[in-house]
Amino acid sequence: MQQQSNNKCKCGNGGNGTCKNCSKIRMAIMLKNGYKNKGLAKTWYSFYKKNNQPEQKIINGMIDRFKNRPEYTNAVNKLVFYDNYSKSNVIIQSLKVC
């Protein structure tokens, strides 16, 4: 997958502003035991309109949005951020939540 340089989804999968192929950052939500089957999303993607911003600014925005989701308050152990373009699970940042 080549890097997206603009603010639009190129593959057609990005209907809500995020796309598993075109978003720059992927956030994996590591849930505590007992929360794995509660219907909580385990992977979030950054808004592709933010792709031209620095990685840390995108990550900070994702963390802010995450903090506004009360259903995750007691369910999460760690957030792990990946470079979504590389597809090789290159960790950019890991954040312990509990």
For 20-78, write each residue's pLDDT tens digit: 888 999 999 988 888 876 777 789 999 988 999 999 999 999 999 999 988 888 888 88
In this predicted structure, the answer to whether residue 86 has a pLDDT above a threshold of 90 is no
Give the whole-angstrom CA distance, residue 71 versus residue 2: 35
In this predicted structure, the answer to whether residue 2 has a pLDDT above a threshold of 50 is no
> pTM value?
0.80
**Predicted confidence band of residue 8 (pLDDT cuts 50, 70, 90):** confident
pLDDT at 98: 58
- Whose tokens are 């999460």? That residue is 76
- State how far the alpha carbon of 12 is from the alpha carbons of 5, 15, 16, 21, 79, in Å: 16, 7, 11, 9, 27
Give the whole-angstrom CA distance, residue 50 versus residue 72: 24
